[in-house]
Amino acid sequence: MSRKKIVAGNWKMNKTLQEAEALVKEVLSSETPGDVVKIFFPPFPYINSVSNLIYDYQNGFHCGAQNCHYNDSGAFTGEVSAKAAASVGARYVLIGHSERRIMHKEGPEFLKLKISRCLENNLVPVYCIGEMLPGREANKHFGIVERQLEEVMFNFSVDDVRKIVVAYEPVWAIGTGKTASPEEAGEMHSFIRNRIAHHYNEEIANAISILYGGSCNAQNAKALFATKDIDGGLIGGASLQASDFVSIINSF
């Protein structure tokens, strides 16, 4: 199976430019496997600098944007388009992160448009899905995730959907120190892959990388990444420290 192994660091609203550059340089100077795709998702103002730092290095390093607007240009004060993000070196974009769904009320219609803009601009959308705590406690997590797939991702053609990366991030595990166990995460990842196979086909389902996110760290990454259907991680807090991020990258 030739699915990409991916470890991505979502820095959220953290770091200054100087701190960002220091972190990237430290990660680049560390030993990391070339067959793992490694992505930094810095705040928008640092994308260009981070991209320039990794440009010469290659070895599977990429830069991404944490969000994009659903239009290519226009009167949208304070927003950044996928086209603009691509022009400064982004290759991936986080779409539908729970913090944006919750705090910025991003719904399926917007998310579909954002994915379209990414694809038009040759950016890889990392589509984030996951249930909140009440959904998990009410045992509705599979239905919630299925709806998030159907309302957004399953509107895309076979050719487009294979370009998308999925990130399963149970909201109750984000920033809480409460990780989904490898069993809990693994059964959801298998469920997601089965739904993709059901809607499209096995070949597509086996080609799409599905990342886990939510308090993934240097201690628990190995067990999570060894689990069937988990192809890597989308890391928040633990990606802000070079040594932690490097040890997560080396956890396959």
What residue ranges bind ligand 13P (CB under 6 A)?
A: 10, 97, 169, 174-175, 213-216, 234-238
Q: How far is the CB of 172 from ligand 13P (least distance, A)?
A: 10
Q: Which is nearer to ligand 13P, 200 or 230 (CB)?
A: 230
Q: In angstroms, rounded to a whole number, what is the distance separating the alpha carbons of residues 209 and 211?
A: 6
Q: Which is nearer to ligand 13P, 54 or 238 (CB)?
A: 238
Half-sphere exposure of 199 (CA within 13 A, CB side): 21
Q: In angstroms, rounded to a whole number, what is the distance separating the alpha carbons of residues 11 and 19?
A: 11
99, 106, 131, 169: the active-site residue: 169
Q: Which is nearer to ligand 13P, 53 or 126 (CB)?
A: 126
Catalytic residue status for 169: yes
Catalytic residue status for 199: no
Q: Which is nearer to ligand 13P, 61 or 168 (CB)?
A: 168
Instruction: Determine contact, residues 167/146, Cβ cutoff 8 Å.
Output: no
62, 69, 97, 189: the active-site residue: 97
Q: Which residues contact 46 (CB under 8 A, 6 or more apart)?
A: 15, 17, 20, 21
Q: How far is the CB of 213 from ligand 13P (least distance, A)?
A: 4
Q: Which is nearer to ligand 13P, 186 or 200 (CB)?
A: 186
Cα Rg of the chain (Å, integer): 17
Q: Which is nearer to ligand 13P, 166 or 216 (CB)?
A: 216
Q: How far is the CB of 224 from ligand 13P (least distance, A)?
A: 12
Q: For CA atoms 139, 164, 111, 198, give the dihedral sign.
A: negative
Listing DSSP states for 104-133 in one string gives S---HHHHHHHHHHHHHTTPEEEEEE---H
With CB atoms as reference, the residue minimizing the distance to ligand 13P is 236
Q: How far is the CB of 5 from ligand 13P (least distance, A)?
A: 17
Q: How far is the CB of 180 from ligand 13P (least distance, A)?
A: 11
Backbone angles phi, psi at 198, to 5 degrees: -65, -45
Instruction: Determine contact, residues 225/7, Cβ cutoff 8 Å.
Output: no
CA-angle at 13, arms to 236 and 31, nearest 5°: 45
CA distances from 221 to 38, 85, 234, 252 (A): 15, 29, 11, 8
Per the listing, tokens 């998308």 go with 164
Q: How far is the CB of 97 from ligand 13P (least distance, A)?
A: 6
Annotated catalytic sites, by residue?
Answer: 97, 169
